Chains A and B, each alone.
Chain A
Amino acid sequence: MEVRILSIVVFTPIVFGIALFFFPAERHREIRIFALAGATVALLLSLWAYFTYDQVIGGYQLVERYSWVPRLGISYHVGVDGMNAPLVLLTGIVMFTGVLVSWGIDDRPREFFGFLFILATGVFGVFVSLDLFQLFFFYEIAVFPMYLLIAIWGWKVTREYAAMKLTLYLFIGSLIAIVGGLAMYFASGAHSFSLFALEQASFSVEFQRFWFPFVFFGFAVLGGIFPVHNWSPDGHVAAPTAVSMFHAGVLMKVGAFAALRVGIMLLPEGAKFWAPLVLGLATVNVVYGAFIASIQTDFKYVIGFSSVSHMGLVILGFATLNLDGITGAGIQMFSHGVMTALFFAVVGMVYDRAHTREIPKLGGFFKAMPLVGIAFIIGGLVSMGMPGFSGFIAEFPIFMGLWQSQPIVAILAAISIVITAGYIMRVIGRVFFGEMPEEFIGKITPINNFDKIALVILSGVLLLIGVYPTIIAPLVESGARAVLALVGGA
């Protein structure tokens, strides 16, 4: 406990982010290097936290606790277990690669990286929180910079609309969740926001059934659950590359994770009662998301809707309320985070050169940028659940969980696999192969080395998990067991 790793992980980004504002605005180069340094520190520490976690001992580790507002029972309380350790690492990876691919940002990089880093602190904070108040606190920190990042640096056509839509959806969602959280706080009588205290509060079954939807769906908005998912593709498309990576890669996991941590783990009886509805909605996510993705002509919308589809699988996994399903959902959160970061990085690289994202207008990019093409193919294979890649490792247990709880859903959700294969292959074929339109010939500049490093890291992680699942599966399984200990097995 000598080194307070988690606090350093949480506060490194914001400290670096604020420090950035002391740089003169025009020193772009120094700003970038400083930002990269901050991201490197966060990545290394999150790797450290991931690999020092001892599965044999289990439970929460690297715990730190300080009183914050003792009168209200609020404390600063952080720790990692098998469920959130991968998410902390994910945030580190996405932050690091996000900075790398944003090297070319020339419009106010100081403010851009500054806000991005504040956002990162919010995300780290939510993942490691063991105090409900603190969790809400960081949650709002994570959502707010998103508005600025999209509205200022976003795609000119839709950025204001998308930023406003996103912010409204998420604030309303979090408001509902806060109402539920306060209800728990008062009903528990323990006068504490500590998640451990609330877990032990033994709320009545009626109470749990009544308040579960508030907390769960309030957070699940950010997880992209149907029918309140449509802020998400709009937000993805309008956001600049690194922000899309953050948004789809980690922010949606914040929603899903909070729905699990606060909704399912604190109100298990409510979860059991509402599970069929959640399963139904998430099935719509998975299948409908895939169908909608397959008819998009905008490259970025395809990926945006594919996220809706894949996040549906995460929620499906939660709603099985059994070991396989929750383990799979945990791995899927990590796998999807890395995959979608890779996707948006690729889309950004293509868009920066072609200045269009209309799939029919693109073509032949593989020859001009082979590494980008390979990276997209790897991401595509992950997304269609191809064995040998992390998507398979994640989706397989989810489906096994579904067989145990609701076999029909397994069969319905499986349809999405073929549809996904169809649209991914179509995009690969149209964008990367085929004839390159004449207007692009000779004008496609190669990507720089920072982009290359980012692509290699992201695709390497996806491949590593696919070939060697032991690197993540037992860890997440230990986390899932902790969840089940509260839910009481199923």
Chain B
Amino acid sequence: MAFLQAHLLTLILFSPVAGAVLLLLIPRERLQTIRWAALLVSLIPFGLALWLWFTYQPGVEGYQFVEQAIWYEAIGSSYHLGVDGISVPMVMLTTLLTPLAILISWSIEENVRSYMALFLLLETGMLGVFMSLDLLIFFVFWEIGLIPMYFLINQWGSENREYASFKFLIYTMAGSLGLLLAIQMIGVASGTFDLIAITEQWPTLNQSLTLFGLPITLAIGTVKKIAFWAFVVAFAIKVPVWPFHTWLPDAHTEAPTAGSMILAGVLLKLGAYGFLRLVLPLYPVEAKYFAGVLGFLAVLAIVLGAFASWGQDDFKRLVAYSSVNHMGFVVLGIAAAAFAQGTMQADDAVIAINGAVLQMFNHGLSAAGMFLLVGVIYDRAHTRDLNKLGGLFPVAPIYGGILIFTAMASLGLPGLNGFVSEFLVVRGSWPIFTLYTALSMLGLLITGAYILKGIAKVLHGPLNEKFLGQKMEINRREIIAMAPLMLLMLLIGVWPAWILNVINQTVKLLFG
């Protein structure tokens, strides 16, 4: 037990990879064995994450479950893990969504073994980002997640997968290039990659750096501004913030169902997490200075994302654009908090960040759920064209009910989870960015419009005759995959305190 407690994060982090290696030992043609093995393996990190959740102590300052080991001493980087109230919910979300995504992948028939192994590898990459306390380790995991995702889209995606996967790769690689350079610069300037040490010295570092000894001398302020933007662009691409979002609809639409679930459910959160963990603590001054720009982009993401979503005729694309819309609220909350940090409005900032973190979790649930449901209907109808669907409610009542429930959570209906977090963001940002917040509320109207459009086009109206007599109803396995998501949506909707308490304790310490 003591061992478990001391190495809990490492165990959570590497159990998926270990499982992936074990999977490769199963003969490739035993599909059913591979599927069940993958599911069981993915439940191990989930079980350990539950343990983490219940033994984590909210309100204790600093990181918990810290582990440190020698990794790359020559350049001052170590294997350093730890979690706080922002990362614990993200770890929960990742370990919860992965088994569900695997459960929904039963319909994959081709190269099942590699598919499942890549998924587990992806899980390790994502978890590593949420747990890292060392900039270099952070970057390592940040990049590792990219490769499995590329292959998942490229190999198991739909028609346009080559283009979409390549665009996804190049966009994110280009984004992380700036991140890489900025991390190197910070490493050179501060002589360490340890996040805790850097957070202490980097924001106050203001002696002129000798590293620009040759032709140009840059003031430290300029250096920090450049590094700040490098970070912001990398994370903004991942979130994605308008106008860096154009990879997203392609990647989401072409990815296999489970891939879209993880992409929308977890990968987008990596960007937002980067803002919270790195940008705000490392660049408080620059963040405050540019918060207005970021807030403006967030409003554009909310409004334009909603309009774009409304304009889609492809069900999956509609859901994909809705992610731009919903993640806009996360960024709005972060921008507002960045602006208000250290002022009289710090209380509002704390509320906004609470909302942003909870929105990250909530969007993870609802986006994963929506993509799952899109996948269910696509498996049966073999089309995602909204104009060819319709009238499915009578033939698939359970599916209809689940779809409406999930769509309502996504829309922000009071009583379900989306409302709580969006309300918190709006409540926190209102006193800080009144105009932006008001504009984004208008965006919410359009959110209602596109969600209802989706529901109406799929469930109501005349039934396409092609589907007459076909079995359209959702099956038991898919219901099992949906159930935990719906349960959490409702639970957070009616009683958010259980999770908000964990988030709030940390946010208060960090941003209060």
| Interface status of B26 (Cβ within 8 A of chain A) | no
Chain A to chain B: the 10 pairs with minimum beta-carbon distance, closest first: A387-B140, A473-B74, A403-B188, A477-B74, A469-B72, A387-B143, A421-B173, A399-B184, A404-B211, A400-B184
Write the chain B residue with the least CB distance to A470: B70
Whether, in the assembled complex, A277 has its beta carbon less than 8 Å from a beta carbon of chain B, the answer is no
Residues of B within 8 A of A324 (CB): 75, 188
| Chain B contact residues, CB within 8 Å of chain A | 70-75, 136, 139-144, 147, 150, 154-155, 162, 166, 169-170, 173-174, 177, 180-181, 184-185, 187-188, 211-212, 214, 216
Q: How far does the Cβ of A12 sit from chain B's closest Cβ, in whole Å?
A: 32
Give the number of residue pairs across the A-B interface with Cβ within 8 Å.
85
Smallest CB separation, B462 vs chain A (Å): 40
Given pairs A396-B75, A400-B187, 17 additional interface contacts (CB within 8 A): A384-B173, A386-B143, A387-B140, A388-B140, A396-B136, A397-B75, A400-B75, A400-B184, A403-B184, A414-B181, A417-B177, A417-B180, A421-B169, A421-B173, A470-B70, A470-B73, A473-B73
* Chief secondary structure at chain B's binding surface: helix
B72 contacts across to A, CB distance below 8 A: 393, 469-470, 473
Interface: A372 (CB within 8 A) = no
A410 touches B71 (CB 8 A): no
Bound: A422/B173 CA distance, A: 10
- A274 interface residue, CB < 8 Å from B? no
Complex alpha-carbon distance, A139 and B502, angstroms: 65
Give the residues in chain A near B150, CB-CB below 8 Å.
425
Most interface-central of A393, A400, A477 (chain B CB within 10 A): A400
Q: Complex Cα distance A474/B185, Å?
A: 22
- Check A403 against B211 for contact (C-beta < 8 Å): yes
Assess the B212–A407 pair: CB atoms within 8 A. yes
Known interface pairs A429-B162, A433-B155. Does A387 touch B70 (Cβ–Cβ under 8 Å)? no
Known: A473-B72, A474-B74. A400 touches B180 (CB 8 A): no
Asked if A403 contacts B74 (CB within 8 A), the reply is: no
Chain A's nearest CB lies how many Å from the CB of B77? 9
A396:B184 contact, CB within 8 angstroms: yes
- CB pair A399–B211 under 8 Å, yes or no, is no
Beta-carbon contact of B180 and A414 below 8 Å: yes
Whether, in the assembled complex, A115 has its beta carbon less than 8 Å from a beta carbon of chain B, the answer is: no
A405 close to chain B: CB less than 8 A: yes
Q: Which A residues have a C-beta under 8 Å from some C-beta of B?
A: 324, 327, 381, 384, 386-388, 392-393, 396-397, 399-400, 403-408, 410-411, 414-415, 417-418, 421-422, 425, 429, 433, 469-470, 473-474, 476-477
- CB-defined contacts of A408 to chain B, threshold 8 Å: 216
The 8 Å CB contact of A469, one of B71, B155, B214, is B71
Q: Is the CB of A417 within 8 A of B70?
A: no
Closest to B114 in A: A370
Which B residues are CB-close (under 8 A) to A421? Answer: 169-170, 173
Chain A nearest CB, measured from B218 CB (Å):
8
Determine the chain B residues whose CB is within 8 A of the CB of A473 once the complex forms: 72-75
Say whether A422 contacts B139, CB under 8 Å. Answer: no
Q: How far is the CA of A397 from the CA of B185 in the complex (A)?
A: 11
Can you give 14 contacting A-B residue pairs, CB < 8 Å?
A324-B188, A384-B173, A397-B75, A400-B75, A403-B184, A403-B188, A407-B185, A407-B212, A410-B181, A417-B180, A425-B169, A433-B154, A473-B73, A473-B74
Chain B's nearest CB lies how many Å from the CB of A405?
Answer: 7
- Judging by beta carbons under 8 Å apart, are B180 and A404 in contact? no
A429 to B181, CA, bound (A): 28
What is the bound-complex CA distance between A429 and B169, given in angstroms?
A: 13
In whole Å, how far is B169's beta carbon from the nearest beta carbon of chain A? 6
B184 and A410 form a contact (CB under 8 A): yes
Q: Are A422 and B184 in contact (CB under 8 A)?
A: no
Residues of B within 8 A of A429 (CB): 154, 162, 166
A392 touches B140 (CB 8 A): yes
| Set of chain A residues within 8 Å of B75, measured between Cβ atoms | 324, 327, 396-397, 400, 473
A58 to B180, CA, bound (A): 32
Task: Collect the chain B residues with CB atoms within 8 Å of residue A404's CB.
Answer: 188, 211
Q: How far is the CA of A425 from the CA of B187 in the complex (A)?
A: 30
How distant is the Cα of A399 from the Cα of B183 in the complex, in angstroms?
10
Contacts of B185 in A (CB 8 A): 403, 407
In the assembled complex, how far is the CB of residue A152 from the closest CB belonging to chain B, in whole angstroms?
A: 41
User: Nearest chain-B residue to A276 (Cβ)?
Assistant: B214
In the bound complex, residues from chain A placing their C-beta under 8 Å from that of B180 are 399, 414, 417
Whether A397 lies near B74 (C-beta < 8 A) is yes
Which of chain A's residues has its CB closest to B210's CB?
Answer: A404
In angstroms, Cα B172 to Cα A422, docked, is: 12
Shortest CB-to-CB span from B21 to chain A, Å, is: 12
- Whose C-beta in chain B lies nearest to the C-beta of A409? B214
Contacts of B211 in A (CB 8 A): 403-404, 407
CB of A288 to closest CB in B, whole Å: 18
**Contact between A381 and B162 (Cβ–Cβ < 8 Å)?**
no
Residues of B within 8 A of A476 (CB): 74
Q: Which residues of A contact B147 (CB under 8 A)?
A: 381, 386
Contacts of A386 in B (CB 8 A): 143-144, 147
Partner of A422, one of B70, B141, B170, B212: B170
Q: Which of A396, A406, A415 has the most CB of B within 10 A?
A: A396
CA distance A469 to B188 in the complex (A): 19
Query: Which single residue of chain B is at the shortest CB-CB distance from A380?
Result: B147
Cβ 8 A contact of A414, one of B74, B143, B177, B188: B177
In the assembled complex, the CB of B111 is this many whole angstroms from the nearest CB of chain A, namely 9
- Asked if B181 contacts A399 (CB within 8 A), the reply is yes
The residue in chain A whose Cβ has the minimal distance to the Cβ of B137 is: A387
Whether the pair A388, B212 counts as a contact (CB closer than 8 A) is no
Asked whether, in the complex, the Cβ of A474 is within 8 Å of the Cβ of B155, the reply is: no
Residues of A within 8 A of B216 (CB): 408
Tell me the minimal C-beta distance from A427 to chain B in angstroms: 12
Residues of A within 8 A of B212 (CB): 407
- Min CB distance B170 to A, Å, is 6
Give every chain B residue within 8 A of A397 (Cβ-Cβ). 74-75
**Complex Cα distance A408/B212, Å?**
10
Q: How far is the CA of A407 from the CA of B140 in the complex (A)?
A: 22
Q: Which chain A residues border B166 with CB–CB below 8 Å?
A: 425, 429
Contact (A418, B173) CB under 8 Å given A399-B184, A406-B214? yes
Q: How far is the CA of A397 from the CA of B173 in the complex (A)?
A: 19
Residue on A with the closest CB to B142? A387
Q: Which one of A393, A405, A474 contacts B73 once the chains associate, using CB atoms below 8 Å? A: A474
Judging by beta carbons under 8 Å apart, are A411 and B136 in contact? no
User: In the complex, what's the smallest C-beta–C-beta distance from A160 to chain B, in angstroms?
Assistant: 39
Which B residues touch A399, using CB under 8 A? 180-181, 184
What are the residues of chain B within 8 A of A470 when measuring CB–CB?
Answer: 70-73
How distant is the Cα of A410 from the Cα of B182 in the complex, in angstroms?
A: 11
Nearest-Cβ distance from residue B177 to partner chain A, whole angstroms:
6
Q: Which residues of A have CB within 8 Å of B173?
A: 384, 417-418, 421
Residue of A nearest to B188 (CB): A403
For A478, the closest partner residue in chain B by CB is B74
B154 near A418 with CB under 8 A, answer: no
A223 to B74 CA separation, bound complex (whole angstroms): 25
Do A411 and B181 touch across chains, with their CB atoms under 8 A apart?
yes
B189 to chain A, nearest CB (A): 8
Residues of A within 8 A of B74 (CB): 327, 397, 469, 473-474, 476-477
Q: A403-B185, A414-B177 are in contact. Are A388 and B71 (CB under 8 A)?
A: no
